[in-house]
Structure 1
Amino acid sequence: MQDARERYPAGWEADVVLQDGSTTRVRPIRPSDAEALQAFHVAQSERSTYLRFFAHLERLPERDLHRLVTVDHVDRVALVATTDADEPPGYRIIGVARFDRIGDDEAEVAFNVADAHQGRGVGSVLLEHLAAAARERGVRRFVAEVLPQNGRMIAVFRDAGYEVRQHSEDGVVSLAFDIDPTDRSLAVVADREHRAEARSMRAVLGARSVLVVGPALPGAPPPRALHLGMARAAHAHLTAGDARVRVQAVGLGLEPGDSSSDDVLAPVPAVGGDPFAASFASVVGPVDLAVLAVPAQAAPAVVRALAPLGVRGVVLMSAGFAEEGEAGLARQRAVLAAAHGAGMRVVGPSSYGLLTTGEHGTLNASLAAELPRAGRVGLFCQSAALAVPLLAGVRRRGLGLAEFVSAGHRADVSGNDLMQFWADDDGTDVVGLYLESIGNPRKFSRVARRLAQVKPVVVLTAGRSGQVVPPGHAVRATTAPARAVDELMRQSGAIRVDNTHQLLDVAQLLAHQPLPAGRRVSVLASSSSVAALVAEAAAAAGLVVAGAQVLPEDAEVDEARERVVAALRDPDADVAIVVRIPTVGGPDVGLASLVAHEAAASGRTVVACVHGLSGVTPELTAPDPAGTLRTVPAYTTPEDAALALGHAARYAAWRARDHGRPLHPAGIDLRAARRLVDARLATDAEVPLDARSAAELLAAAGVAVLPSAGVRDADEAVAAAAATGYPVALKTTAPALRHRADLGGVRLDVADEAELRADVEQVLALAAEHAPEPGAPPLEVQAMAPRGSSCVVRSLEDPLYGPVISVGLSGDASDLLGDVAYGIPPLTDVDVADLVRSPRAAPRLFGYRGLPPLDVAALEDVVARVAVLSDAVPEIRHLELNPVVVGERGATVLAARVTLARAHRADARRRLPG
């Protein structure tokens, strides 16, 4: 631990969102914080000081002050929450939390939050971070002594979801609680995170006072035409919108007579001091949102100068940040530090802007001159370039939009933040995301799953692998398989599509039609050949064709009505596809109206491909029995219609199913596992465990590894077999032949000494041509496991995804054909069941070709334990159980390999950006 005592733990620094949607910085205390800590203490009320120190101290004595700011970051840890301030030292402490170790795994904890910042959730945030730091240092229990009248602090502990034990003695309440995460404490953190991030987005999207800042500012570099164009366009679009939004602008490079709007303010020349602060002297505050199109070099100073105006959010349209290397990344970090220090969120850089429509009015803080109509679809797009065709596609289809946000390089505000907002937004029914990168997949999974349970989430990623990282995106590299992102989306309930066309296809269906009740589809087409093609497309999209009918072009009105009613009310179908492609004339408006009215009346999910109609059209719109207008979305091709309907049916099935419960296998001792890992990594950065240590680690998770004995020759093999009892298995440890019975590297059911000696000679001769595993004896002798199917269970700690669990059947199915299923913890019991059943070879576990069904529940138990262990201990770099023999009763682990390495998981549950 000596290194930790000497090293400032920069990894504990975090920008976080508070309960009111503003931001603060949480970091370890430093000796240089003495002045700020004294100022914090002096500003506290007499009551607050008394509750913290059990005595009134007007000032902290120098000796105590030195002790409070000097910690070792191991046994004595203190965190502070800060905001920026004009007076020295340039920041203000608004909260302090600390612990002092009083035992091997126990520490005394204390908090103090500034009177002026009570009720903002500062104490809860500090407790979350302090508990995380404590667990990292091996502390598992907090104790505290609190005065009875300090109900607020007692509530912080209880509201955090911990099981708090308390007793009173001599007028003091003694509290104690374990800080290992529980389902309740994790739910509390997720709920706090959700409310805070949703509120921060609500402040940005609901802005009613906007300031546009252009590049023509005193003290800034000469303005570029691009920046001037952006600023002037954003200003024009804002002023052309809702009159209830107050718009002001500075730095547009216009003479007073050049603008017809009196909200274009002339920058005030600086006379000493901050030139940008002088530029904003005539701005009337408070300002909710600032739209910036300024040179990247000036952006940090401009953001700092905005702080006195009470700005809650910044849209940064300029480029020139992380995409330009280390210097640009430093500028980006400086912008974030200035914004978060003043409580602001940042959309961008390289943002196309944001816009909102609907009952609360229109806010067009974007570069889009032409807006889609108001509606109930929320869109998030990282790329500014892709925002142009995406918005054009929305307008072309007549699809109504509620909100649109372009996050550019996603330095701060991310898709996760918008999903948090949309989960509570009554004005949004469907969410669409275009993601160029996923900076925090574990948080994405958590937030998307919560949202998808109430609203559809349609996701397009840059590249099928989801691992394309454009310049400017600060994302960790990943070694996870490309299919990991598929599993991430599947677990989350997100609908993954391949392009923007499909994204809007699915969105328009889900926004205007009820969710499908099932996968059975009825097809109505204008010819038998078209009906056959549509049926084929429907089957390819995962639908089950219940029936196909033909509606001739020359059908009379009564016949057409009869055919439409029969197709849309088919008792054997759940959904319907109507295709009308006349060979003569234009759109069949009469049929479109008939389909619209019958679809609305039936309550079925219906899609159409009607020549001449596209998107959301009045011809395919009709009221349902409750009077709500329903539109049958029109598609360009039957294949598009079928694909969108297939996506919607799978989402509806996911939403309707039981998603399971968190995993809590009996008999897991994560603390024992943690102690073993810490001991092995005390001196080495990476450690491959020997067989005994690997078995000990897995035993802490309740996974037993069948013992084996390493042997070098026939005599040692015979002795090991005698101790084990015949029959035995003999295996080579040469990696090329390990687990390969087909190549002779494994001999099973060795019945006696003579057979064993012969097998030892043959296996040694076979393995002589292959390099042995370093440090291992050439052979192993092991008791025979019950017969069954061999599986392989692995866990890989990925720098971006965290643990990635994989399951497959051993041998060529997984090694050669890649028939492996992936899961990303934390998993539920349902996730584990899906994981085991997902490989194409999985039927071998369920009574394949007359064989008896195997104990799949035992395999699920092993997978669940590996998932929980890997999720709790990120230092498990790689874990492999191979083979796991699943018999008719039980599952036996025959071999385990584990590599440990120091880790810093990117699951920034409490950090920004996320």
Structure 2
Amino acid sequence: MSDPAAPPATGALVAEPPPHWAADVLLLDGGTAHIRPIRPEDAPALEAFYARVSDRSKYYRFFAPRPRLSPRELALFTRVDHTKRIAFVMELAGKIIAVGRFDVVHPGEAEVAFLVEDRHQGRGIAQILLEHLAQAGRERGVRRFTADVLPDNQRMIATFEAAGYQVMGGVEDGVMTLGFDIDPTTTAIGVMQDREHRAESAAIAQFLAARSVAVIGASRRKDSIGEALVRNLVAGDFRGRVHIVNPAAESMRGLPAYASVGEIPGEVDLAIVAVPAEAVQDVVLDCAAKGVKGLVVISSGFAETGDEGRQRQRKLVGLARSYGLRLIGPNCLGVINTDPAVSINASLSRNMPARGRAGFFCQSGALGSAILDKVNARGLGLSTFVSAGNRADVSGNDLLQYWEEDESTEVVLLYMESMGNPRKFSRIARRVSRTKPIVAVRSGRTTQGVPMGHQVRTSTTPPGAVDAMFRQAGVIQVDTLEEMFDVAQVLAHQPLPAGRRIAIVGNSDAIGLLARDAAASSGLVISHQTNLGARASADDFESALLEATGSDDVDAVVAVWIPPLNASAAAPATALATVAQKSTKPIVSTFLGEKGVPSQLRVADVDGGAAGRGSVPSYPAVESAVRALAHAVEYAVWRRMPQHEAAELQVAPEVGRAVVDRVVENATRGRNLEYAESRDLLAAYGITLWPSVGVDTVEEAIAAGSDLGWDVVLKATADRFRQRPDLVHSWRHIRDADEMKQAWAMLRARVDRPDEAAFVVQPTAPEGVPVSIAAEEDALFGPVISFGIAGPVSELLGDRSWRIPPLSVNDARAMTREIKGSPMLFGYRGSDIADVDAVEDLLLRVARLKNDLPQVHSIVLPLVLAGREGASVLSSSIRVQPVTDARVDWFARRLTPLPGDTLH
């Protein structure tokens, strides 16, 4: 690529780059690297990098032989202004492995170029550099990239085409000139997220499909952590090779011991680290030198211990990532994969769970052991298990990416003590839930608290918003671990119900009544109930079950069997199991008061694991059975809803962005928009802001009424009046100057401090239900939108619905219907039915605006009248401020930042 026009090599830096331009990134093969803006002091490292690049790659970059860079060129390439000349380097193990840059050649247009070290080509590096350069460009007002490429440089041409942008160009003088807009189109975002999925899935596969494992810190001392790790690997019948690393031992359990990882012959995929916390960093360096791909750090003594531990943890993760390693932990239980081809128990748990269909992710190491005990007791079985401990690097989002493609995992179970990137979780979970149910327990749900060692941003979003985000993503949220396993048993062993209609079949009237009450409170419809009585036989039980499962009016069956004294359970168990194996409808039971999947009701799995498909789960309490079934019903209903991406709207983001940019340019700390600015910004997104004229005198009020054509409203708009219906602060239907004089005098007499009342004149709006819409930028969630009936009662009761943009049409419909005040929109007590479609369209447009423009810190439409035809936006409050921090789920891939970084 030709050299860009550039200032003299001695030119001074113009600005400092924003901190969020630096990030750890994940490459396509699951390895990590660090990307950051270039610095003048990078000249020696850039020279060394250039020396490692092949002559062919250099030729493709400069279109001519250039064996080395001159001192002037080194200064030119490393001294940039971070505004019109931006360059990023990618580092691995402290060395530059790639460089990407752009130089503005025309307003809004920049020329882009890349150079990647040959041995790292094919790892998706150029695509990541392009993403980060494009994001930096958008922040600097660049809207289009151009690139000069030799026609035979197919790798670079493919990079631009594969990015999802529409590339157009021609050939002149033997050089192909490509050009493409860098606005994040749906296609470009989809390509980025697909690469993210592949990279994160590959990273987890390195842990769960390892073929060679080194236990570092192994000890012959009985009941030590190191001894337990080796014992569990061997006892779990690991199919790969186990290596012992202990300088003080020669052998252990018949395996040779090595003084360091580097002495192990052959490759090592995974290292299990159980050394004192202060020694872990040295282990990382040894593993990096050996080429280890992943670390599971069992060791404690990190962020869970306080400030010193937090610093140690930050250094640990930073060091691991800088050498291309992913890390699970620290302070974790370990990982398990029950696949017979792997059979790895790299954990402190003696219990290797049976092969099953559920993947389990948790954070607490101590809780992990209890979870595995419960899994075994219920006969549930797991495909894989990961305890992330302090969740310093690998998180539940990574596991979701892996489980999405893992054929062995049909149900995902999450025990979440904190969320580092809920926006990303929402995006991935929405996709995964379409094919695999996700059941989650979230501790600290009420208190919003997180355990020691979990570093997350402080969120101002209420708990209800998090619950709504889970519903939006189709996640089945439950309150306890017991309830999680209750639901998992249905999902792992029975088909999904087709609807809410259930049949209750049993031999106990009392328990049948409890089932009926539980069904009613869970939103299920009882379409069929058979009370067989205490004298019923197994044949009676089977006949009733067959009748229920065969009925077109039944979607699921709750079976209850409490045998009479001294009666055998074998015959009714056979009856229940026989019907269940033939049924296409889910059956849950209260059978002998047992928990889990009783042996009598268990269908053998094809690979000899835990209970297989068709097994009937049993619950000691029928209420638990019904609640578990109800969760499965709600999930099935969500999954059957049409799958929509973000709603397609006719909007003009570039117009809105121009409004925002003008304000930000002159207000470094941000400010609230004036009426005209708010009107223009909203109009860019198809939202009409009701005309409003601020007035300070009666003469101005009369003039405003005349200009607006009369039939106007005079009202006080100061904050103290907005949520006070007890204060009379408006006068409607003013038709001429005399009525305006009367209204002016009366209102000024009624309100306190009239000179501070902020009077405005507006045309009288059509009657309607007052609703409010708000969207804000949350430090943890990114953009969040909420909706409710306007007024202090709704605010006090917290009667608002919440979602995370982008919104689908179904999301907007759910928002208007799930608040307790929703009947007011649908003709409550004979009132007019509001134009709810118009309200939902408004929600979609506000969400799109907030999602597109992060400089819009908050947007509030405090009074929208939802009338019979349309929705009138009477007022707005919009605050705009510069972006000082990247969203945690931006248009460029990045790993969760380290604690103490700009994002955490």
User: Which position in structure 1 is the counterpart of 2:5?
Assistant: none
Q: What SS class does the counterpart of residue 861 from structure 2 fall into?
A: strand
Q: Is the 1:592–1:619 Cα contact (8 Å) retained in structure 2? A: yes
Farther off after superposition, 700-709 or 586-595: 586-595
User: Which position in structure 1 is the counterpart of 2:561?
Assistant: 580
**1:182-201 CA distance string (max 9 Å, x none):** 11011001100001110111
- Tell me, in whole angstroms, the C-alpha distance in 2 between the residues paired with 1:688 and 1:720: 23
User: Which position in structure 2 is the counterpart of 1:764?
Assistant: 748
- Tell me, in whole angstroms, the C-alpha distance in 2 between the residues paired with 1:739 and 1:639: 43
- Tell me, in whole angstroms, the C-alpha distance in 2 between the residues paired with 1:731 and 1:588: 76
Q: Is the 1:510–1:648 Cα contact (8 Å) retained in structure 2? A: yes
Structure 1 gaps, min length 5: 85-90, 217-222, 268-278
When residues 686 and 4 of structure 1 are mapped into structure 2, their CA distance, relative to the original with a 3 A threshold, is farther
Farther off after superposition, 551-560 or 514-523: 551-560
The TM-score, its normalising length taken from structure 1, stands at 0.92
Q: CA deviation at 1:243?
A: 4.8
Farther off after superposition, 881-890 or 348-357: 881-890
Residue 119 in 1 paired to residue 117 in 2? no
The TM-score, its normalising length taken from structure 2, stands at 0.93
User: Which position in structure 1 is the counterpart of 2:467?
Assistant: 486
Q: Following superposition of structure 1 onto structure 2, how do residues 419-818 of structure 1 map, counting pairs within 5 Å?
A: 419-465=400-446, 467-582=448-563, 584-585=565-566, 588-622=569-603, 629-677=613-661, 679-680=663-664, 682-738=666-722, 740=724, 742-768=726-752, 772=756, 778-818=758-798
Q: Is the 2:494–2:613 Cα contact (8 Å) retained in structure 1? A: no
User: Which position in structure 2 is the counterpart of 1:273?
Assistant: none
When residues 132 and 680 of structure 1 are mapped into structure 2, their CA distance, relative to the original with a 3 A threshold, is closer
User: Which position in structure 2 is the counterpart of 1:859?
Assistant: 839
Q: Is the 1:40–1:114 Cα contact (8 Å) retained in structure 2? A: yes
Q: Give the alignment partner of residue 78 of structure 2, picking from 69, 77, 83.
A: 69
When residues 131 and 578 of structure 1 are mapped into structure 2, their CA distance, relative to the original with a 3 A threshold, is same
User: Which position in structure 2 is the counterpart of 1:276?
Assistant: none
Q: CA deviation at 1:585?
A: 4.2
Q: CA deviation at 1:452?
A: 0.7
- Tell me, in whole angstroms, the C-alpha distance in 2 between the residues paired with 1:870 and 1:295: 47
Q: CA deviation at 1:252?
A: 7.9
Farther off after superposition, 171-180 or 587-596: 587-596
User: Which position in structure 2 is the counterpart of 1:881?
Assistant: 861
**1:603-657 CA distance string (max 9 Å, x none):** 11010111243212331134899x9751011112111111110110111111111
Q: Is the 2:214–2:261 Cα contact (8 Å) retained in structure 1? A: no
Q: Is the 2:32–2:324 Cα contact (8 Å) retained in structure 1? A: yes
Q: Following superposition of structure 1 onto structure 2, how do residues 338-349 of structure 1 map, counting pairs within 5 Å?
A: 338-349=319-330
Q: Give the alignment partner of residue 314 of structure 2, picking from 330, 333, 340.
A: 333
Q: CA deviation at 1:771?
A: 9.2
Residue 234 in 1 paired to residue 215 in 2? no
Q: What SS class does the counterpart of residue 737 from structure 1 fall into?
A: helix
- Tell me, in whole angstroms, the C-alpha distance in 1 between the residues paired with 2:691 and 2:723: 16
Q: Following superposition of structure 1 onto structure 2, how do residues 342-361 of structure 1 map, counting pairs within 5 Å?
A: 342-361=323-342
Farther off after superposition, 545-554 or 664-673: 664-673
Q: Give the alignment partner of residue 257 of structure 2, picking from 244, 253, 264.
A: 264
Q: Is the 2:493–2:617 Cα contact (8 Å) retained in structure 1? A: yes
Farther off after superposition, 836-845 or 71-80: 836-845
AA in 1 matched with 2:183:
D
Q: What SS class does the counterpart of residue 82 from structure 1 fall into?
A: strand
**1:93-114 CA distance string (max 9 Å, x none):** 2211100112221111001111
Q: What SS class does the counterpart of residue 630 from structure 1 fall into?
A: coil
Q: Give the alignment partner of residue 64 of structure 2, picking from 36, 44, 55.
A: 55
- Tell me, in whole angstroms, the C-alpha distance in 2 between the residues paired with 1:748 and 1:525: 65
- Tell me, in whole angstroms, the C-alpha distance in 1 between the residues paired with 2:276 and 2:216: 11
Q: What SS class does the counterpart of residue 694 from structure 2 fall into?
A: strand
User: Which position in structure 1 is the counterpart of 2:16?
Assistant: 7
User: Which position in structure 2 is the counterpart of 1:80?
Assistant: 89
- Tell me, in whole angstroms, the C-alpha distance in 2 between the residues paired with 1:601 and 1:37: 68
Q: Give the alignment partner of residue 372 of structure 2, picking from 380, 388, 391.
A: 391
Q: Is the 1:355–1:365 Cα contact (8 Å) retained in structure 2? A: yes
Residue 201 in 1 paired to residue 204 in 2? yes
When residues 905 and 79 of structure 1 are mapped into structure 2, their CA distance, relative to the original with a 3 A threshold, is closer
AA in 1 matched with 2:86:
V
Q: Give the alignment partner of residue 811 of structure 2, picking from 816, 821, 831.
A: 831
Q: Is the 2:218–2:225 Cα contact (8 Å) retained in structure 1? A: no
Q: What SS class does the counterpart of residue 380 from structure 1 fall into?
A: strand
Q: Is the 2:669–2:882 Cα contact (8 Å) retained in structure 1? A: yes
Q: CA deviation at 1:332?
A: 1.7
Q: Give the alignment partner of residue 309 of structure 1, picking from 290, 307, 325.
A: 290
Q: Give the alignment partner of residue 21 of structure 1, picking from 30, 37, 55.
A: 30
User: Which position in structure 2 is the counterpart of 1:274?
Assistant: none
- Tell me, in whole angstroms, the C-alpha distance in 2 between the residues paired with 1:209 and 1:465: 43
Farther off after superposition, 344-353 or 683-692: 683-692
Q: Is the 1:593–1:621 Cα contact (8 Å) retained in structure 2? A: no
AA in 2 matched with 1:80:
V
Farther off after superposition, 183-192 or 367-376: 367-376
- Tell me, in whole angstroms, the C-alpha distance in 2 between the residues paired with 1:243 and 1:200: 20
Q: What SS class does the counterpart of residue 224 from structure 2 fall into?
A: helix
Q: Is the 1:738–1:745 Cα contact (8 Å) retained in structure 2? A: no
- Tell me, in whole angstroms, the C-alpha distance in 2 between the residues paired with 1:767 and 1:3: 59
User: Which position in structure 2 is the counterpart of 1:913?
Assistant: 896
User: Which position in structure 1 is the counterpart of 2:135?
Assistant: 132
Q: Is the 2:519–2:525 Cα contact (8 Å) retained in structure 1? A: yes
Q: Is the 1:661–1:830 Cα contact (8 Å) retained in structure 2? A: no
Q: What SS class does the counterpart of residue 26 from structure 1 fall into?
A: strand
- Tell me, in whole angstroms, the C-alpha distance in 1 between the residues paired with 2:250 and 2:153: 58
Q: Is the 1:689–1:897 Cα contact (8 Å) retained in structure 2? A: yes
Q: Is the 1:601–1:624 Cα contact (8 Å) retained in structure 2? A: no
AA in 2 matched with 1:262:
L
Farther off after superposition, 644-653 or 708-717: 708-717
**1:308-352 CA distance string (max 9 Å, x none):** 222111001112222344432332222122222222110011111
Farther off after superposition, 96-105 or 691-700: 691-700
Q: What SS class does the counterpart of residue 346 from structure 1 fall into?
A: strand
Q: What SS class does the counterpart of residue 473 from structure 1 fall into?
A: coil
Q: Give the alignment partner of residue 191 of structure 2, picking from 181, 188, 192.
A: 188
AA in 2 matched with 1:573:
V
Q: CA deviation at 1:541?
A: 1.8
Percent of aligned pairs with the same residue?
Answer: 42
Q: CA deviation at 1:779?
A: 1.0
When residues 648 and 77 of structure 1 are mapped into structure 2, their CA distance, relative to the original with a 3 A threshold, is same
Residue 901 in 1 paired to residue 884 in 2? no
User: Which position in structure 2 is the counterpart of 1:822?
Assistant: 802
- Tell me, in whole angstroms, the C-alpha distance in 2 between the residues paired with 1:175 and 1:378: 45
Residue 869 in 1 paired to residue 864 in 2? no
**1:527-547 CA distance string (max 9 Å, x none):** 222211101111222211112
- Tell me, in whole angstroms, the C-alpha distance in 1 between the residues paired with 2:12 and 2:714: 45
- Tell me, in whole angstroms, the C-alpha distance in 2 between the residues paired with 1:152 and 1:830: 41
Q: Is the 1:523–1:548 Cα contact (8 Å) retained in structure 2? A: yes
When residues 655 and 201 of structure 1 are mapped into structure 2, their CA distance, relative to the original with a 3 A threshold, is same
- Tell me, in whole angstroms, the C-alpha distance in 2 between the residues paired with 1:345 and 1:819: 42
Aligned-residue CA RMSD (Å): 2.4
- Tell me, in whole angstroms, the C-alpha distance in 1 between the residues paired with 2:720 and 2:545: 64
| Equivalenced residues, count | 880
Q: CA deviation at 1:900?
A: 2.1
- Tell me, in whole angstroms, the C-alpha distance in 2 between the residues paired with 1:548 and 1:769: 67
AA in 2 matched with 1:191:
D
User: Which position in structure 1 is the counterpart of 2:160?
Assistant: 157
Q: Give the alignment partner of residue 284 of structure 1, picking from 265, 269, 273.
A: 265
